[in-house]
């Protein structure tokens, strides 16, 4: 006998575990994307695939409906050994994550439960969704879902979301030259997929970002700017940059994040920068080399002016060096001093996790597991980030975490009054420190160095175009939540929204799907 059930969008359907049935009411704003899942378990047989085609059909009045088959990927490092108990798995396993476009015909590729992910973009007339599952002419399941529509358009959250897009990873995956037609097509799809989950800006490779690179090695050169020396002076061709800016704004992004001016974890060397078709700066040129200061003195003022004309100064973000630690105070201070006058009046932010570094950074981007330390030290944490190290108690995007650990970030950002969030891994398709390329469908853990899902949240299709994941959809829902919380705040005041959400610090991330959805629907009530 077939088992079919509807499942909410903050539950991951595991092959060997019966999923809880959907109990939450369907509620949302006009233009909001509501999601749920149709989970299926075939009757016992000698073959995992049924003889007849099984089709899922979803109809909704005045709404755009899209179906996705949920795929499984290997996760060899679900978590580190010091993990907290809120995990779906702690040993190597297969877990659901990639989403493949579906016409509704279910592909039965393994034993156990399968699921289709359903996206419904609400229109002003959406009141009901009907789900039908058929095998041939036989209807196995039919269920109507009532939609309570909040008569208000969904806006955009004020919280900025910067995400590192690795342009070289897309060229390397496709085996094409950077900024060839195939590369631009791939980039465009990744920009659109990033915007689709709430991202406001991606890392723009003005020069190849000096990030996650083994010392002494160089990643594929994806420098957008063409620097030439003419009569002893630097001439800057911005043709490729201007196309990048057009693609970024065309995808719906509004912020430009510039690559770091010095190497990661200490600011000891210069980035890989090419001039006259050859590498002029890199690991072999110290951060304090006078030639680099001379170069920046020529380049940064016109570059700043160009970017600010294109998108506005309030949408351009600069970095000195990523993740300096307490023992890097000296080198980071030196690097900051080298560019301080050149970045005067600009927005500068860097990821830090030690309160003693906060005074060195114009805008610290604080690790979520260090926010409490910053507050206790009397420091602000207006921008936050998480990555591999934030593996206990806080929200993150590891594949082996419950979906609630992804989506609860919205509540934490709202309750803390955050201005921005940063993450490093949109599409890092490499082993640790970019030593080798990987197949992201076979290796989700950067060669075993990182918890599965930390390096990327999008998958490459066969044509190089971006495919979403469960986590991408769940984070997109989180940014919708943020927009709704902010709309309610404008309508009834912050105190009323906080009273419904409760007190929730960054290191208080465990919650049930039922409770998370209940809180979101209670906020909808404030707008009804």
Q: For residue 153, what pLDDT is reported? A: 97
User: Are 321 and 266 within 8 A, CB to CB?
Assistant: yes
Confidence (pLDDT) at 46: 60
Cα 341 to Cα 89, 210, 259, 296, 338, distances in angstroms: 50, 22, 18, 11, 8
Contact 21, 514 (CB under 8 A): no
Confidence (pLDDT) at 332? 96
How far is residue 521 from each of residues 476, 513, 517, measured CA to CA in Å?
17, 12, 6
Which of 495, 500, 521, 516 lies closest to 408, judged by CA?
Answer: 516
What gap in Å lies between CA 504 and CA 523, rounded to an integer?
Answer: 16
User: What pTM value is reported for the model?
Assistant: 0.97
Instruction: Tell me the CA distances in angstroms from 299 to 296, 302, 351, one per residue in order.
Output: 5, 6, 24
* Below-70 pLDDT ranges, the chain: 46-51
- What's the Cα-to-Cα distance from 288 to each of 150, 208, 216, 294, 440, rounded to whole Å? 57, 19, 18, 11, 38
DSSP 299: H
Q: What residues form DSSP beta bridges with 69?
A: 100, 116
The CATH number of the structural domain formed by 3-155 is: 2.60.40.10
DSSP assignment of 116-130 = EEEEEEE-TT--EEE
- The first and second tokens of residue 307, run together, are 């970017």
Contacts of residue 252, Cβ cutoff 8 Å, sequence gap at least 6: 192, 195
Compute the distance between CA of residue 488 and CA of residue 307 in angstroms, rounded to an integer: 34
Confidence at residue 148, expressed as pLDDT on a 0 to 100 scale: 94
The domain segmentation of the chain, as residue ranges, is: 3-155
Distance from C-alpha of 46 to C-alpha of 353, rounded to nearest angstrom? 54
Position 17 scores a pLDDT of 97
Q: Determine the 3-state secondary structure of 234 from DSSP.
A: strand
């Amino acid at each position: 006998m077939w088992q079919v059930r509807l499942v909410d969008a903050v539950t991951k359907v595991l092959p060997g575990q019966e999923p809880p049935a959907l109990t939450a009411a369907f509620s949302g704003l006009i233009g909001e994307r509501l999601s749920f899942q149709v989970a299926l378990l075939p009757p016992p047989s000698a073959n995992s695939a049924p003889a007849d085609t099984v089709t899922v059909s979803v109809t909704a009045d005045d709404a755009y409906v899209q179906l996705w088959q949920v795929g499984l990927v290997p996760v060899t490092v679900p978590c580190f050994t010091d993990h907290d108990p809120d995990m779906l798995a702690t040993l190597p396993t297969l877990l659901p994550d990639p989403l493949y476009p579906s016409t509704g015909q279910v592909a039965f590729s393994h034993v156990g439960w399968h699921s289709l992910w359903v996206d419904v973009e609400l229109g002003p007339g959406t009141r009901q969704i009907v789900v039908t599952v058929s095998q041939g002419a036989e209807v196995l399941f039919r269920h109507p879902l009532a939609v309570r529509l909040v008569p208000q358009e969904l806006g955009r959250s004020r919280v900025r979301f910067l995400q590192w897009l690795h342009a070289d990873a897309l060229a390397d995956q496709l085996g094409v030259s950077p900024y060839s037609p195939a590369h631009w097509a791939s980039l465009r799809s990744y920009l659109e997929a990033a915007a689709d989950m709430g991202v406001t800006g991606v890392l723009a490779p003005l020069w190849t970002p000096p990030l996650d690179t083994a010392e002494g090695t160089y990643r594929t050169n994806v420098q957008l700017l063409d620097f030439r020396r003419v009569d002893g002076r630097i001439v800057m061709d911005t043709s490729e940059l201007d196309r990048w800016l057009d693609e970024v704004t065309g995808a719906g992004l509004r912020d430009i994040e510039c690559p770091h001016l010095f190497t990661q974890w200490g600011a000891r060397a210069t980035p890989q920068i090419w001039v006259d078709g050859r590498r002029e700066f890199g690991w072999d040129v110290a951060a304090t080399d006078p030639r680099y200061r001379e170069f920046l003195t020529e380049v940064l003022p016109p570059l700043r002016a160009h970017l600010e004309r294109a998108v506005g100064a309030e949408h351009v973000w600069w970095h000195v060096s990523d993740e300096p630690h307490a023992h890097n105070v000296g080198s980071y201070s030196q690097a900051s001093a080298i560019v301080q006058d050149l970045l005067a009046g600009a927005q500068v932010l860097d990821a830090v996790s030690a309160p003693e570094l906060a005074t060195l950074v114009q805008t610290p981007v604080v690790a979520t597991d260090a926010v409490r330390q910053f507050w206790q030290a009397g420091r602000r944490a207006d921008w936050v980030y998480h990555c591999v190290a934030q593996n206990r108690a806080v929200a993150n995007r590891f594949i082996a975490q419950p979906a609630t650990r992804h989506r609860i970030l919205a509540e934490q950002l709202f309750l803390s009054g955050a201005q921005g969030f940063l993450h490093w891994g949109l599409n890092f398709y490499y082993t640790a420190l970019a030593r080798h390329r990987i197949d992201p469908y076979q290796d989700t853990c950067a060669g075993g160095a990182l918890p599965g899902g930390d390096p990327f949240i999008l998958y490459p299709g066969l044509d190089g175009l971006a495919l979403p994941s469960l986590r991408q959809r769940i984070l997109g829902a989180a940014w919708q939540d943020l927009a709704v919380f902010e709309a309610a705040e404008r309508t009834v005041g912050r105190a009323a929204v906080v009273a419904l959400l409760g007190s929730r610090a960054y290191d208080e991330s465990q919650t049930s799907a039922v409770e998370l959805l209940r809180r979101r629907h209670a906020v909808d009530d404030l707008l009804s």
